[in-house]
Structure 1
């Protein structure tokens, strides 16, 4: 499982997919969500879903990810 640090309190699922290089544009996010992304073992179709520290994301055909809190300096 890959751990991903975020800058603020949360990151949206769409922003996460772009940050990880899984999609290139926001327009690709909606189509990509139809693949069946799981957030904390629940199917998630909303690109605006807020991801917080501790949340786990499973993307079929990709890696599993865990959100970490704000990166420490």
Structure 2
């Protein structure tokens, strides 16, 4: 089965924290949902499991959760 396309999500400045990015990209509904996704090991960052909300993302990093994939890009 093919992977979902990676959506580019515009950010105003770098870095952005993973928890914030999950909300901005619409992967998480709110901060609590972002925390739940991370605590239950459902988030991958550049192909590696990630569990820390405060991880700093840079443009080009790829975040995946479930069927969704997104990456931050500067405006």
Match of 1:49 in 2: 55
Q: CA deviation at 1:35?
A: 4.2
Matches of 1:30 and 1:51, distance apart in 2: 16
Could you list the runs of 4 or more consecutive aligned residues of structure 1 that deviate by over 4 angstroms after TM superposition?
A: none
**1:60 Cα deviation (Å)?**
1.1
Q: Over aligned residue pairs, what C-alpha RMSD do you find?
A: 1.5
2:71 to 47, 66, 69: 66
Change beyond 3 A, Cα 1:64–1:21: closer
Please state whether the residue corresponding to 2:26 is helix, strand or coil.
coil
TM-score (norm 1): 0.79
Q: Which residue of 2 aligns with 1:8?
A: 13
- Give unpaired runs (5+ residues) of structure 1: none
TM-score normalised per structure 2: 0.78
Deviates more, 1:25-34 or 1:46-55: 25-34
